[in-house]
Structure 1
Amino acid sequence: MSKSKRPEPESLELPLAGVDSHAHLDLDDFDEDREAIIERATASGFSQIMNVFLGPDAYEKNRGLFDSHPQISFLMAVHPNDADQLTDDVLDRMRVHFKADPRLKGVGEVGLDYYWERVPHDVQKSAFIKQLDLARELSLPVVIHSRDANADTVAVLEEQGFRDYPVLWHCFGAGMDLAETVVANGWHVSIPGTVTFRKKSDDVQAAVARIPFDRLMIETDCPYLAPEPWRGKRNHPALAVFTARRVAQIKGRSLEDVWRITGDNARRFFGL
């Protein structure tokens, strides 16, 4: 018996109300079909996409890719795995771009990554703090990257006075302990496709069930982490409809409700 055909995202027929809160559409993974991918996102119900530029070099090189797509807004920051590249010049360039470009809506992704161990922890923390200071200076939201470093990431945010500041925990993949901390600090979480991995995401699903609706967003982190039933394939924004479908099942709400609510949350958070 042949395997059943994977459903296409357009088949869910969602309204044009969703927001992909974290995508990397400027990466060369999309060089062959970027325009078609953006069109599919719209056809699948995405009204807006947040594209994340990994530093000012990427922003300066690739922002023009989206000149004809006003529905795509931008985030920019130096990733913790590149924290040793955050010089004063790089920080100044970021400041100039944030002030000049209204499409730049937040500082991210910033934080700590202890999984790859590419940059010493103290260097990562220093770069993290400098970019938090920049966000506060410019009154911009912050989007967090934390991998195998949740305790230290929370500690830095709390020590730097970011309780009740607009903070979004990107690619949330933890359980109730972190979820409770995030909610208590007034922060938001963005749910990736991994929530659909039924055998490996019990803790995440339990956390999603308890996180208040007004703190939830949906993301792809594309081209990575495609949800079931497209797991293992290149991820792209349209596929996040399946992430939203799983969140709806967990929350016991209709898919359209979750779609609109998470989209509204993202629009408020980023000022879209």
Structure 2
Amino acid sequence: MHLIDIGANLTHESFDRDRDAVLARAREAGIVQMVITGASREHSPKALELAQAHPGFLYSTAGVHPHHAVEYTAECDAEMRALIAHDEVVAVGECGLDYFRDFSPRPAQRRAFEQQLQIAVDTGKPLFLHQRDAHEDFVAIMRNFEGKLGPCVVHCFTGTREEAFAYLDRDWHIGITGWLCDERRGQHLREIVPHLPLDRLMIETDAPYLLPRTLKPMPKDRRNEPAFLAHIVEELARDRGEPVETVAARTSATAREFFRLPAP
């Protein structure tokens, strides 16, 4: 299989000890390209540096996650715009709303989200979006930019069937992670994914988070990594009743078109 992981937090400190080995295992597992998530003022520049160190294999996003929305100042906005000007940065984000944790006040989240949406309007780059327990406000803010934005993906989708169809109705894409493999929280996703068109569906690990609970054997450190994307694809294909090769090829083609990636 040739796979594209559209969301991996490889700048996370848990990868500092063996990042090169993680990348080597990813290649061995069929990962041909990967998008490294930039989600803060600290980590967005690191994601770009990592992408520049592995041309053609790694790409990055640049943005500020709603958890960090309080850091979104005018200076931060300028920093994000400078990063997004690089060719290796293929999307604006991770940005959006998270009312589950509320690590930043909701008004700050909404302001930071709107400012990053404006960057997407100004640059024409795709959006890498986050939404958790904030669907109504999320859609309302996005509606204010309707007709001005390029491609959008709601990454790490964990929502309801109604939310999924609301996103599809707006021609957005959906990213599926190992949450699908969580029998405690992700069972509803197994009923949703058969209804997602393959030209709107992409796959991701969100490493080091969301280790698939159906993975055997489990790594001792319980850290997720891009090499485990193949397991997620197998689970996804089973739920859809389709060959693994078909799901792998189609989701990779969708990701390549969405992020405007060259053929590996």
Shift of 1:65: 3.8
1:214-238 per-position Cα deviation (integer Å, ceiling 9, x unaligned): 1110101110001121488100001
AA matched with 2:23: I
Rounded to whole Å, the distance in 2 between the matches of 1:56 and 1:174 is 27
Aligned to 1:111: 96
Change (3 A) 1:61 1:250: closer
Change (3 A) 1:61 1:192: closer
Q: What secondary structure is seen at the aligned counterpart in 1 of 2:100?
A: coil
Rounded to whole Å, the distance in 2 between the matches of 1:69 and 1:153 is 34
Change (3 A) 1:128 1:62: closer
Rounded to whole Å, the distance in 2 between the matches of 1:149 and 1:268 is 28
Percentage of identical aligned residues: 32
Matched, 1:266 2:252: no
Rounded to whole Å, the distance in 1 between the matches of 2:179 and 2:238 is 15
30-39 or 65-74: bigger deviation: 65-74
CA contact under 8 A between 2:45 and 2:62: conserved in structure 1? no
1:232-257 per-position Cα deviation (integer Å, ceiling 9, x unaligned): 81000010111111110111111111
Rounded to whole Å, the distance in 1 between the matches of 2:239 and 2:192 is 10
Shift of 1:158: 1.6
1:85-115 per-position Cα deviation (integer Å, ceiling 9, x unaligned): 111111112112222x210000111000111
TM-score (norm 1): 0.89
Change (3 A) 1:247 1:97: same
Aligned to 1:12: none
Change (3 A) 1:266 1:61: closer
Q: What secondary structure is seen at the aligned counterpart in 1 of 2:94?
A: strand
CA contact under 8 A between 2:92 and 2:120: conserved in structure 1? yes
Aligned to 1:249: 238
Q: Following superposition, which runs of at least 4 residues in structure 1 exceed 6 angstroms of deviation?
A: none
Aligned to 2:224: 235
Rounded to whole Å, the distance in 1 between the matches of 2:30 and 2:231 is 12
AA matched with 1:85: E
Aligned to 1:84: 70
Rounded to whole Å, the distance in 1 between the matches of 2:139 and 2:251 is 23
The one of 9, 21, 37 aligned to 1:52 = 37
CA contact under 8 A between 1:164 and 1:187: conserved in structure 2? no
AA matched with 2:102: E
Rounded to whole Å, the distance in 1 between the matches of 2:53 and 2:75 is 30
- Structure 1's unaligned 5+ residue stretches are 1-14
Shift of 1:83: 0.7
Shift of 1:38: 0.3
Change (3 A) 1:109 1:213: same
Q: What secondary structure is seen at the aligned counterpart in 1 of 2:62?
A: strand
Rounded to whole Å, the distance in 2 between the matches of 1:239 and 1:19 is 12
AA matched with 2:177: P
Shift of 1:270: 0.3
Give the length in aligned residue pairs. 256
CA contact under 8 A between 1:165 and 1:187: conserved in structure 2? no
CA contact under 8 A between 1:111 and 1:145: conserved in structure 2? yes
Rounded to whole Å, the distance in 1 between the matches of 2:196 and 2:100 is 26
Shift of 1:42: 0.7
- Structure 2's unaligned 5+ residue stretches are none
Aligned to 1:153: 138
Matched, 1:188 2:177: no
Q: How does 1:24-35 map to 2 (within 5 A)?
A: 24-35=9-20
Rounded to whole Å, the distance in 1 between the matches of 2:47 and 2:124 is 24
Change (3 A) 1:164 1:75: closer
